[in-house]
Structure 1
């Protein structure tokens, strides 16, 4: 397709980010306030900003974009706020309470807390209907499906105004006939209802995980379908020549129809593009160990990439609901620019997780907010320009910020306003550092072996303080930091996960052909799906993984393997890969023990052409970009000290400056603490180095 642009849109809790890339590599970033009640309003507002900047109209931008990509928090917000569809569950009789029993599991950290409340059930007890049927663990049918039970469930659902139905039977992954017949009955009696079939959505062993995944998908599917329908219609009306692609939690793109039917794949799509963007930022420097951190208005998201590979999660509790499908491993905290400072019952200062969001927003926005937030703190500390954010389009009121901190924090604690502000700054940083430790140190990684990649509009004001605390001496902040997730979307590929259950011991010769045949079947289906999306075989690539364990173990681990024919001559490659992975995870392996496969998965990618890289012109020295001096606080004593302020638009490649300093880009502000240097690289990223450790070896 002959086109000028590629457009990425990332809808966050406070701002919606827009990245418009030209094939040459020229990239523009825009922001509009999010409109959670109708996200298409924020899209209209942001596209209007782009059209005004380019001197054209919205239709010209959309019709000249080869891909329009959308990352959305619609599913996430519906799950957080319990605003999903009214859902019914049809399950095997006697298993109506599996989603409530939850394998007897209570989330980590609360296992021995008797006061911790149970999770809210997405399907209330009266809408979980058991039907008589039973498949055995070998796939044999012991009790045929009693179809009248399904019809009775449908009659109840019709009376109750059910919008969405989930079907999940015991051992349906080995014998899906009963689920498929039940689905036919539901479609016959409830033709307008959204339908999720567990063995189609998540065809892998573990009944509770499959049922919980199906229920969550059913709960969100109508919400995502309405959203996708509205967005697709908006873009078609404005001349889109290709279908809108949506970003998934697995780190890839998919068409709207897939996302509407597979809503769980889009639950956490926003931050899932951060690792891809982080690797793009670090690529010119050769770094493959990257911790990408993204602080927006509402949350702080952390992802870890080791040796170029980002961890994927499967079978995890997300917002207290078990999800089986693959998701980029993201640690999310309630620590953003809108996080509210408050004093707890013990008189201790806390930050978040409550957020002022975009409405009313921080006190300094002047929109009725009275609670002191992280943004108010950064303004009071002298880090932010009082003339406003987003190039001055969002003015800030320093008097309101100071009044909120004084009234809510400083006064009650009996300390100065400046000390209160720096204390709030320190606490929100400590919260973020603890999150980074959870994804690194607690999982066996030394954060000092990583480089920090900075994303999000608010992160750059905190990043040197975070790096100092973590012992990380090198930080990369791209000029596109505040829209890095939207940028990550436009350089990502289409991605579909195809899964199957395949219980088989690898000491059994008959298993090899069965595993190999299943892989080939999954991959044939995946190729066909991508061909329909417009990708020929030269642009399709794939990877494989298997869930494996030693015989006698309860839980399995996921093992990535190359694509090859599995037979007696190659099966040892599977075993060796499992032994290595088991030792990496648990420090030991048992080469003489029998290995068994539980599940298999093929991931297929439709490779998208990537925009080129733009190179910055050489600078004329940092002094040329200095626009003034601002008093700011960099220590707990609350004393202001002068810090030079630089206009990021006037800095060029090679320009270098020493902290303390403040660099103002249009959509982010970089605070360079004392003891750090910052240099702008030709790739468009600031390289921040801790001066005291300048001679230390760089991360890999």
Structure 2
């Protein structure tokens, strides 16, 4: 019997979003519950209770009738931000104990010449980084055999110090894994309860610092992810889940819980990584493939860019000041959300964020003990949010408490609470616009060539202001916007990345054969993994890429290639693909120069069927959807404009609303500034355009 439901869960810092697709009813429904960081399964339980109440079925019945239950989580990200990972030990080549702090002698961009910029907090303290006498050379030969006593001494120290997770990373271990694997055997023997990360298995690529840093980050997050995955898996098993819970990875695909525990570093950007897939999906009816997706929740603001239907993947980047080598969807994250706190700096200037009120105590207007002014408080005072409450009135708001919070910054500045609110609104928008510029303008893209897609519960109140500042004249805002990442999970495939190092020049037949054999070796492992997971050859896909460079270059670039055999006849296609990619990135190529491969990578997909968005029927007239009017502020003077407020649930396909206006959906509030027009498409998305242009780019 075909399962009736598919469930997507996106656990954010303030709210946990739930999207349930019902094949039988042909519907997709969105629900929200407050996040419970201290007990993540409690938020899931609360959300399932809402779904059960709506469907008139028990949580057990719903879960038992799900083909997939998918979970995206910020647990790994939050652990890295707050430095609350597991107590970690590192076993490395003697003399390389400090490579994590030396960091290739590089400070983050923007701080390279700042002597006062503080050093990054080390995930492994110096005394828990133990060197082992051993040495593998760059050709894979062993110069110094591994001293096993050094490994055992490290284990004794780790046991004494209560280390719960261990990373192993030796120099050139990717070309000869013997020492790392033997060290892993000793650690498993002496520390059977410890979680172990082996660098040559997790990230088999050259560059010792990147591999060590990635291994340490993975080890650091592993205890947190093991505890989280164990609790979620156990909870769904008790409810009668037929399939293992799938978790969303930062590479943009799904994985089972065991993979997320073993490869915890892939959980860092678990939540926002599904946004590009969802953004493309909701733009498909309008044939738009240049998409900037922005997601403003309670704590953060996430930005992704998709050009010509392809979303950038980052590798070898500094993320939260830690070098991460594995592929991750390129997400720009800012401390700008509905809970971002307004404050006055030492110069007497108004600032917003990155501090956040989060879910506890939350914004002052929530009435849960918060007293600091937040973005949500500002939006309420500006008249954008319904003073009767959010989530259809289930989350009541206090205008008085919001104004009292705003006065904490208004009084010192000698302005009204309304002016302070608009100041906060403007500042947080400017912060978000700067983030959008970083993923577009600073990477050579003109944002005016893109459609702006809104996601997250707080985005819709800011979306027209953001588009105005960026010069973007077309916005696509789905009714599912506040849970778009959860929806993106339900339409995503299982995805695993397999890598190998192949430092060879593309100038002889043995080199071609080596690359070809490595591709086939890693793909064989990946296919076996997916087949154990229930996929067949018809539902498995493979994509290949090579990290390549001209001989003499320091850095390489990633080049996508086909799945053809690599031989003397096909190598010309590989070289040409590299030349073209080099021209795209750097405006020139050196076709006369020799080309060399550094690493190979195969991405294995397990394709799943996708639920479809139902077509929206025509609703009542726009006039009948009018709920009333309230004063809303659209300029720095702080004076209100009588603004119509519409019930989004009463609007049907074709409904057109001109700004200024406010549209209240159950889980989000859309603010349409003067000069913008919103039209509700049958796909369930509002297409919001500026009067300068009637259509999107």
Deviations 1:369-419 (A, max 9, x none): 11100000000000000111111111000011011111x221111112221
Q: Secondary structure at the match of 2:2?
A: coil
CA distance in 2, matches of 1:680, 1:621: 12
- Pairs within 5 Å for 1:69-218: 69-218=70-219
Q: Could you tell me whether the CA contact under 8 Å between 2:339 and 2:376 is conserved in 1?
A: yes
Alignment partner, residue 354 of structure 1 = 355
Matching residue of 1:236: 237
Match of 1:465 in 2: 465
Give the C-alpha shift of residue 262 in structure 1: 0.4
Secondary structure of the 2:391 match is: coil
| CA distance in structure 1 between the partners assigned to 2:423 and 2:100 by the alignment | 43
1:524-570 CA deviation, whole Å, 9 max, x = no partner?
A: 11110000111000000111111000000000011111111111111
The separation in 2 between residues aligned to 1:23 and 1:292, in whole angstroms, is: 27
Q: Which segment drifts farther, 594-603 or 15-24?
A: 15-24
Q: Using the alignment, how far apart are the partners of 1:221 and 1:613 within structure 2?
A: 36
- Report the CA distance between 1:623 and its aligned residue: 1.2
Partner residue, 1:224? 225
CA distance in 2: counterparts of 1:575 and 1:74, whole angstroms? 41
Q: Name the structure 2 match of 1:278.
A: 279
Asked if residue 437 in structure 1 is aligned to residue 437 in structure 2, the reply is yes
Q: Please show how residues 205-604 of structure 1 align to structure 2 within 5 Å.
A: 205-406=206-407, 408-604=408-604
1:508 is displaced (CA, Å) by 2.1
Structure 2: gaps spanning 5 or more residues: none
Q: What SS is found at the alignment partner of 1:273?
A: helix
Distance 1:413 1:507 in 2: 69
> 1:609 is paired with a residue of what secondary structure?
coil
Instruction: Tell me, in whole angstroms, the C-alpha distance in 2 between the residues paired with 1:33 and 1:191.
Output: 38
Give the deviation of 1:621 after TM superposition: 2.5
Contact persistence 2:291–2:452 (CA under 8 A): yes
Q: Which moved more, 1:656-665 or 1:621-630?
A: 621-630
Match of 2:642 in 1: 642
Q: State how far apart, in whole Å, the 2-side matches of 1:148 and 1:442 are.
A: 51
Distance 1:300 1:226 in 2: 27
SS of 2:559's equivalent in the other structure is strand
**8 Å Cα contact 2:28-2:613 kept in structure 1:** no
CA distance in structure 2 between the aligned counterparts of 1:186 and 1:308, rounded to whole angstroms: 45
- Quote the Cα distance in structure 1 between the aligned partners of 2:378 and 2:416: 13
Alignment of 1:589-628 (within 5 A): 589-628=589-628
1:347-379 alpha-carbon deviations (Å, 9 max, x no partner):
111110100001101110111111100000000
Normalised to the residue count of structure 1, the TM-score between the two structures is 0.99
Contact 2:33 2:46 in 1 (8 A): yes
State the alpha-carbon separation in 2 of the partners of residues 417 and 339 from structure 1: 17
Shift of 1:56: 1.4
CA shift, 1:637, in A, is 1.6
Task: Give TM-score scaled by structure 2 length.
Answer: 0.99
State the secondary structure of the residue aligned to 1:350: strand
When structure 1 is superposed on structure 2, of 472-481 and 635-644 the one drifting more is 635-644
In the other structure, the counterpart of 1:632 is 632
Q: Distance in 2 between matches of 1:524 and 1:189?
A: 33
Coordinate RMSD, CA, aligned: 0.8
Q: Corresponding residue for 2:693?
A: 694
Contact 1:460 1:669 in 2 (8 A): yes
SS in 2 for 1:20: strand
Question: Do structure 1's residue 656 and structure 2's residue 656 form an aligned pair?
Answer: yes
CA apart distance, 1:665: 0.2
- TM-aligned CA deviation for residue 624 of structure 1: 1.7
CA distance in 2, matches of 1:698, 1:425: 26
State the secondary structure of the residue aligned to 1:500. strand
Q: Any idea what SS the aligned residue of 2:279 has?
A: helix
* Whole-angstrom distance in 2 between the partners of 1:157 and 1:424: 49
- Matches of 1:409 and 1:165, distance apart in 2: 47
1:8 matched residue in structure 2: 8
- Which segment is superposed worse, 673-682 or 416-425? 416-425
After TM superposition, give the deviation of residue 635 of structure 1 in Å.
1.3
Instruction: State how far apart, in whole Å, the 1-side matches of 2:153 and 2:432 are.
Output: 51
For 2:469 and 2:127, the matched residues in 1 are separated by: 51
Q: Quote how far apart the aligned CAs of 1:620 are.
A: 3.3
State which drifts further: 115-124 or 195-204. 115-124
Give, in angstroms, the shift of residue 50 of structure 1.
0.7
Partners of 1:626 and 1:644 within 8 A in 2? yes
Per the TM alignment, residue 516 of structure 1 is displaced from its structure 2 partner at its CA by 0.6
After superposition, give the CA deviation of every residue in 1:108-140 in whole Å (9 maximum; x if it has no partner): 111111111101111111111111110000000
Contact 1:291–1:304 (Cα < 8 Å) also in 2: yes
State the Cα deviation string for residues 654-692 of structure 1 (Å, max 9, x = none).
01010000000000000000000001000000000001x
Secondary structure at 1:588 match in 2: coil
Q: Which residue pairs with 2:49 in the alignment?
A: 48
Distance in 1 (alpha carbons) for counterparts of 2:175 and 2:508: 19
For 1:119 and 1:569, the matched residues in 2 are separated by 49
- Runs of 4+ residues over 6 Å off in structure 1: none
Contact 1:69–1:247 (Cα < 8 Å) also in 2: yes
Match of 1:29, SS? strand
Measured in 2, the distance between the counterparts of 1:571 and 1:452 equals 39
- The answer to whether 1:60 aligns with 2:61 is yes
Check whether the contact 1:621–1:656 (CA below 8 A) recurs between aligned residues: no
Give the count of matched residue pairs.
696
**Pairwise CA distance, 1:618:** 1.4
Give the Cα separation in 2 of the matches to 1:169 and 1:625.
66
Shift of 1:698: 2.9
User: Separation in 2 of the partners of 1:229 and 1:370?
Assistant: 36
CA contact (8 A) 1:497 1:601 kept: yes
- Partners of 2:229 and 2:96 in 1: how far apart? 33
For structure 1, list consecutive stretches of 5 or more residues without a partner in the other structure: none
Paired residues of 1:457 and 1:481 also in contact (CA < 8 A): yes
Query: 1:346 offset after TM fit, Å?
Result: 0.6
Aligned equivalents of 1:661, 1:471: Cα separation in 2: 20
**Alpha-carbon distance in 2 for matches of 1:530, 1:499:** 16
Q: Secondary structure at the match of 2:127?
A: helix
